[in-house]
C-alpha cells in the first residue's frame, strides 16, 4: 500500500482533471490565444464537470469542497498546458467572498453561475497611485439616497471584457483616508460611467488586463457585498474580513497556477533533454543540464507542499494561520516557477526561443507570478514583520 499526503478523492480529482487537460492540450490553448479568443470549450466542459466551482457550497451549485480542491484543478490544467487564470479570480476570490459574506440574494444570483462557469467575475483592487500599498486606494463610494455612487481608477484588472461583473474594492466617503476600511461592490461592466481600456501587455494569455475608470457609477444598495456598510461606528470591520477572505485564496491559487506552469515547462525540457544529442550522450546526461532540472523539480514539489498546507489551514477556517502559509506558498511557487521556466528555455538552446516549441512566452507569464497579486518583496516584508518581528522601513 502506498502512503501519500493526498486523500483518495484528491488523487482521483487530480487524475481526472489532468486527463481533461491532456484532451485539450497545449496546442488547443495556444491556438485559442492566437485566434484572440478564449478557451471557451475547455472552460465550459470544466464547468459542466463541476471543476470550476468545486470550492463553492453545494446548496448554490458548487462541489462543497475547498480551495485545496480548486488549487488541484488549476495546477493540473496548468501542468497540461491549459492554465485557466480566471479560476484565481472568479470562483476563488469572488466566489469565496460572496459565499462567505454575501446576502442570500447575492449568493443565489451569483454562485450557481460562477460554479458552472456560465458567469464570470473579475476582481479589482489595484490602483495606479496605490500599487502594492492597498491602504492608499482612493476609489470612493458615496451615498445618494439608497444608491451608491462609485468613483475611482483601477489598473491591471484581468478579464473585465469577459466578466459579468467586477468585484471592486473601494472605501466609503467617511473612511476615505487612513487605514483601509474597505467595502466591496459588485459592479456590472456596462454600468453608466464605467470605462475600460485594455493595457498592451507582453503576455501570451487568454486573459487581458484593463485600466478602469469609474465616474460616479450608480449602484443600487444591494451592490454592496453583505448589503450594509462594513464599518458602522463601533461595529465590526467586516469589509476587511471580506477582503482577507478573498486574498488568501488568491495567493493559494496563484501558487497553484505557478506550480502548474512550472511543471509544464519542466516536462517539456525533460523530454527534450532525454532525446537531444550533440556529443555522444543526450544532453540530459550532462549534470549542468540535469541538476538544474532536478532542482526545479524539488523546488516545485516544496512549493506544492506549502500550498497544500495553506489550503488546508484556510479550508479548516484558520484565516490567520492561512495568511502566513498562503504568502509563503505564493512566494515559493513564484520563485520555483520562474526558475523552472528559465531553465526549461535554456535546456532547449535556440529552440527554447522559437514559437514552435512555445516555451519563450512562458518567461513573461512566469514573471507575473512573482509580481501579482502581491510581489515577492511584499511577501518578504510580511514575513520580516509578521513572522520575524523585524522593524518596518515604510
Ligand atoms: C498579469 C497581471 C494581472 C493582474 N490582475 C489583477 C487583477 O485581476 N486585479 C487586481 O486588482 N490587480 C491585478 N494585477 C495587479 C497586481 O496585483 C499588481 O501589479 C501588484 O500588486 C504590484 O503592484 P504594482 O504593479 O503597482 O507595483 P508597485 O507597487 O509599484 O511595485 C513596484 C516594485 O516595487 C516593489 N516594492 C513596492 N513597495 C515595496 C516595499 N515596501 N518594499 C520593497 N519593495 C517594494 C515591488 O515589490 C515591485 O517590485 C495584475 C497584475 C498583472 C501583472
Position 175 scores a pLDDT of 67
> Where do the CATH 1.20.140.10 domains begin and end in the chain?
240-387
In tens, the pLDDT along 98-107 reads 999 999 999 9
> Where do the CATH 2.40.110.10 domains begin and end in the chain?
123-236
42 is written with which cell numbers?
A: 475547455
Residue position matching grid coordinates 497545449: 26
Position 177 scores a pLDDT of 64
pLDDT at residue 72 tops 70:
yes
Position 172 scores a pLDDT of 85
In tens, the pLDDT along 115-138 reads 999 999 999 999 999 999 998 999
Which residues are within 8 A (CB) of 368 and not within 5 positions of it... i.e. 6 or more apart? 203
Distance 14 CA to ligand 1 centre (A): 31
Position 20 scores a pLDDT of 98
Kindly indicate whether the domain formed by 240-387 is annotated with CATH number 1.10.420.10.
Answer: no
20 is written with which cell numbers?
A: 481533461
For residue 321 and ligand 1, the question of a CB distance below 6 A is answered with no
For the chain, the average pLDDT equals: 94
* Topology given in CATH for the domain delimited by 123-236: Butyryl-CoA Dehydrogenase, subunit A; domain 2 (2.40.110)
Distance 156 CA to ligand 1 centre (A): 9
CA atoms of 273 and 267, how far apart (whole Å): 10
pTM assigned to the model: 0.96
For residue 83 and ligand 1, the question of a CB distance below 6 A is answered with no
For residue 55 and ligand 1, the question of a CB distance below 6 A is answered with no
For residue 374 and ligand 1, the question of a CB distance below 6 A is answered with yes
Mean pLDDT along residues 277-283: 97
Closest CA to 84 of 304, 260, 340, 338: 260
Alpha-helical segments (H) within the chain? 8-34, 40-48, 67-79, 86-87, 96-101, 104-116, 238-275, 287-315, 319-347, 361-371, 376-382
Architecture of domain 8-119: Orthogonal Bundle (1.10)
291 is written with which cell numbers?
A: 541538476
Position 234 scores a pLDDT of 42
With contact defined as beta carbons under 8 Å apart, do 365 and 261 qualify? yes
Distance 364 CA to ligand 1 centre (A): 15
Amino acid at each position: 500500500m502506498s502512503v501519500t499526503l493526498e486523500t483518495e478523492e484528491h488523487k482521483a480529482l487530480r487524475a481526472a482533471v489532468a486527463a481533461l487537460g491532456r484532451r485539450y492540450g497545449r496546442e488547443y490553448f495556444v491556438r485559442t490565444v492566437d485566434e484572440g479568443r478564449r478557451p471557451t470549450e475547455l472552460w465550459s466542459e470544466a464547468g459542466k464537470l463541476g471543476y470550476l466551482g468545486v470550492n463553492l457550497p453545494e446548496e448554490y451549485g458548487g462541489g462543497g469542497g475547498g480551495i485545496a480542491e480548486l488549487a488541484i484543478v488549476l495546477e493540473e490544467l496548468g501542468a497540461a498546458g491549459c492554465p485557466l487564470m480566471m479560476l484565481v479570480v472568479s470562483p476563488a476570490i469572488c466566489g469565496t467572498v460572496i459565499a462567505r459574506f454575501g446576502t442570500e440574494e447575492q449568493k443565489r444570483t451569483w454562485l450557481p453561475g460562477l460554479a458552472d462557469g456560465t458567469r464570470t467575475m473579475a476582481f479589482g483592487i489595484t490602483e495606479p497611485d496605490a500599487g502594492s500599498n492597498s491602504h492608499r486606494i482612493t476609489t470612493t463610494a458615496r451615498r445618494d439616497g439608497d444608491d451608491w455612487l462609485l468613483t475611482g481608477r483601477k489598473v491591471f484588472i484581468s478579464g473585465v471584457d469577459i466578466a459579468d461583473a467586477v468585484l471592486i474594492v473601494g472605501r466609503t466617503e467617511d473612511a476615505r483616508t487612513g487605514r483601509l476600511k474597505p467595502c466591496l461592490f459588485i459592479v456590472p461592466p456596462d454600468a453608466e460611467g464605467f470605462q475600460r481600456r485594455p493595457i498592451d501587455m507582453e503576455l501570451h494569455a487568454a486573459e487581458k488586463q484593463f485600466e478602469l475608470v469609474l465616474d460616479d457609477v450608480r449602484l443600487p444598495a444591494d451592490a454592496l457585498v453583505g448589503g450594509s456598510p462594513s464599518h458602522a461606528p463601533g461595529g465590526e470591520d467586516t469589509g476587511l474580513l471580506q477582503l482577507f477572505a478573498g486574498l488568501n485564496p488568491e495567493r493559494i491559487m496563484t501558487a497553484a497556477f505557478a506550480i502548474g506552469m512550472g511543471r509544464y515547462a519542466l516536462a517539456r525540457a525533460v523530454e527534450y533533454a532525454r532525446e537531444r544529442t550533440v556529443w555522444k550522450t543526450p544532453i540530459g546526461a550532462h549534470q549542468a543540464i540535469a541538476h538544474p532540472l532536478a532542482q526545479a523539480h524539488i523546488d516545485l514539489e516544496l512549493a506544492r507542499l506549502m500550498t497544500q498546507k495553506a489550503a488546508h489551514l484556510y479550508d479548516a477556517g484558520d484565516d490567520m494561520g492561512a495568511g502566513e502559509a498562503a504568502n509563503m506558498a505564493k512566494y515559493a511557487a513564484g520563485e520555483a516557477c520562474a526558475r523552472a521556466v528559465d531553465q526549461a528555455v535554456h535546456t532547449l538552446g535556440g529552440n527554447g526561443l522559437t514559437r514552435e516549441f512555445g516555451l519563450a512566452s512562458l518567461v513573461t507569464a512566469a514573471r507575473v507570478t512573482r509580481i501579482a497579486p502581491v510581489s515577492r518583496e511584499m511577501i518578504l516584508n510580511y514575513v520580516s514583520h509578521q513572522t520575524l518581528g523585524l522593524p518596518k522601513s515604510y
